[in-house]
Structure 1
Amino acid sequence: MRPKTLILKVDPQNPSINVIREAARILAEGGLVAFPTETVYGLGAAADIREAVLKIFKVKNRPPDNPLILHLADPEWLPRVSRNIPSYAYKLIEKFWPGPLTLILPKAEQVLSEVTAGLPKVAVRVPAHRVAQLLIKELGKPVAAPSANRSGRPSPTHARHVIEDFNGQIDAIIDAGETLHGVESTILDITLWPPVLLRPGAIPIEEIEMTLGVKVTVPEFARGIRESEEAIAPGTKYRHYAPMAEMILVEAEDYKNLDKLVEKVKEIALKKISRGVKVGILCSDETAHRYEGLGLVVSLGPRSDSFIIARNLFKALRSMDELGVEFIVAEGFEEKGLGLTVMNRLRKASGHNVVNAV
């Protein structure tokens, strides 16, 4: 019989200090605790307890070469985990921390090699969620945490998603309701100049470029067009964010005129429906009405608001699974602002099964 997972409900703005202390105690004793951040829920372990860090990989079925992110309570903790920090890093820290920006920095000697998957660099961020901040502060040391989902699955934006994946397999879940951004942090390697985007996330790359005054390098794997040959950061090498259903992404050359995009989505959906397949369509507010009668239609939001679209994406993918959809057809979005993040996730969720609307 599996041990029971403790579900700890809290007010996200004013969490009970007793709950925070209980969760911190579990971490201090080498347990695993899922906790909310402003991006998605994380699966945390005390970063200096090797057995606890290894448990993350085992529970998630995560490849050991896929590094973890260290979460700090305060930017002042940075020297504990990194050395030879570039001076320009502090421009980003001042602007975006606490917040959904993960920086790749030279690793301090004391950081466990299991955390960095043997790499000489470490991924670090300071989360902005009050529960996460209080938990890490109460523990008094960094927390290693990937997203709290089984490897390859859509990231959890609500505690119920964590319960679906890990109930009875981890020690505790802090339930603070839905997360704000709904997608993971932006990961930026600043050991290189110009910096390199490793994973687009909740902070648009344009804001980072404006802060640093330099064009950031965006490799193809950061756009989700292909996987990186090495797992140089979370979300770069392996298939991620995938629903249980088979999925295809329909992209367009011009997202100002959506007619061709809609016709291609319809064509694919109708072919599957004619074979008795249960189809789901992920689309936008502008086109949802045009798919009436073609299976389960879920709008991610208006194309003018990529924040809303990004926030709804993982929730929508999980809802498709919950409703037993067998095949998903997803519309593409323009790669501006958080549109780059959305397209990275959609391309990877589809396993790079992409067609163009021509």
Structure 2
Amino acid sequence: MPSAMNDIARAAQLLHAGELVAFPTETVYGLGADAHNPIALEKIFAAKGRPADHPLIVHLPDASHLGDWAIDIPAAAHTLAAACWPGPLTLILKRHPSVPDLVTGGQNTVGVRVPNHPVALALLREFGSGIAAPSANKFGRISPTTAAHVKEELGESLETSVAMILDGGACAVGIESTIVDMTSATPRILRPGAISANTLRQLLHAPVHDSHAAQQTDNAMHIPRVSGSLAAHYAPRTSLQLCAVESLPAAIAAALQQGQRVAVLAPELSPPLLANQHVIRRIASADFSQFAHDLYATLREFDAADCDLILVTTPPDNEAWRAVNDRLHRAATGSGNK
């Protein structure tokens, strides 16, 4: 395990003392606080610049802790927990009365999951309760997938409010968990992730609305607010544009004519690019899992390269790539704010 057990014990002590600890999960690095401590929770919002009504996800040591955080838990939620935990799946359930409003964003629901990372699980077992942990970055920016990203992203907050970073290496998944609302008759995916709608349907042997269906019914019924659901999120400071593969050469040429330095993320078989010192090229994997794993690190690399424009060719428009497309469209919407 990358972090020694004495580091785990110290991190748990800091959490009990109301401090913030950044730690790895299989998805992204989280900025953790005691989920029952409102004073500690306020530190998360201050460090991230996060709106107070934006709910947090509570990470649990295992599914046996569910009853401490949620009530009226449907059988389908237990089925998914048994099949997918530890793993990149967050369940939205009716909150237990003891859950602080800062965790839920003032709603009557709470998001919970059990992460699949040895360091996270060791910390949760040592701590013995729920740890609220949004991504360990400034609100709306690119999520961190290494400990170095956390240090780069939070900067001064490390000195003022983050007591410790547990280094667990690079995150295996690289994008945030699938969020499923279990409070309605039919489960609804509110944020796509590595666990797809088809996988959930197979596990439940029942219908599951995907994120597009949930958006379409938003006017007809209440949809809980959840992490990462704003139109602008996961955003680089450099302007990011999505374009079709066949449009890439023209988009690059237009940028270069304006004197811009361009970063390009495109498949290996996309139109070849002429060697140009003002163009940085990275190959986009044709495999969803690898693309997702690399995405945030690549966007951070492009930001650090002091480019004027990031061009990303649009991935396939199908369910397998839905989570990646979701992140890219939100990143493009929020990008360019340096």
Relative to the length of structure 1, the TM-score reads 0.86
- Alignment match, 2:269: 286
2:191 maps to a residue whose letter is R
**Alignment match of 1:174 (pick from 166, 169, 178):** 166
Q: Relative to structure 2, which stretch is displaced further, 207-216 or 91-100? A: 207-216
Distance in 2 (alpha carbons) for counterparts of 1:246 and 1:313? 16
1:25-57 C-alpha deviation (Å, 9 max, x unpaired) = 111101000000011100000011101101101
Identity of aligned residues (%): 38
How does 1:270-309 map onto structure 2 within 5 Å? 270-287=253-270, 290-293=272-275, 295-301=279-285, 303=286, 305-309=287-291
**Alignment match of 1:325 (pick from 307, 316, 321):** 307
- Alignment match, 2:106: 118
- Alignment match, 2:331: 349
- Alignment match, 2:119: 131
- Alignment match, 2:207: 215
2:153 maps to a residue whose letter is D
1:233 maps to a residue whose letter is V
How does 1:75-86 map onto structure 2 within 5 Å? 75-86=63-74
1:64-96 C-alpha deviation (Å, 9 max, x unpaired) = 111000000010000000000011111111110
Cα pair distance change 1:201/1:219, threshold 3 Å: closer
CA contact (8 A) 1:67 1:234 kept: yes
Q: CA deviation at 1:293?
A: 2.8
1:339 maps to a residue whose letter is W
Distance in 1 (alpha carbons) for counterparts of 2:267 and 2:188? 30
CA contact (8 A) 1:75 1:93 kept: yes
**Alignment match of 2:240 (pick from 231, 235, 247):** 247
- Alignment match, 2:178: 186
- Alignment match, 2:250: 267
SS across alignment from 1:88: helix
- Alignment match, 2:295: 313
CA contact (8 A) 1:203 1:338 kept: no
Structure 1: any 5+ residue segments left out of the alignment? 1-10, 251-260, 354-358
Cα pair distance change 1:276/1:316, threshold 3 Å: same
Structure 2: any 5+ residue segments left out of the alignment? none
Q: CA deviation at 1:352?
A: 7.7
SS across alignment from 1:85: coil
Distance in 2 (alpha carbons) for counterparts of 1:128 and 1:158? 16
Q: CA deviation at 1:221?
A: 9.1
CA contact (8 A) 2:236 2:334 kept: no
- Alignment match, 1:254: none
1:296 maps to a residue whose letter is I
CA contact (8 A) 1:230 1:237 kept: no
SS across alignment from 1:235: coil
1:266-321 C-alpha deviation (Å, 9 max, x unpaired) = 2112111111111111112332x6234361111231x2x11001111111110101
Q: CA deviation at 1:230?
A: 7.7
The alignment yields a C-alpha RMSD, in angstroms, of: 2.0
Q: CA deviation at 1:217?
A: 1.5
CA contact (8 A) 2:177 2:192 kept: yes
CA contact (8 A) 1:69 1:123 kept: yes
CA contact (8 A) 2:266 2:283 kept: yes
Distance in 2 (alpha carbons) for counterparts of 1:266 and 1:214? 45
Distance in 2 (alpha carbons) for counterparts of 1:338 and 1:61? 32
CA contact (8 A) 1:101 1:185 kept: yes
Cα pair distance change 1:66/1:282, threshold 3 Å: same
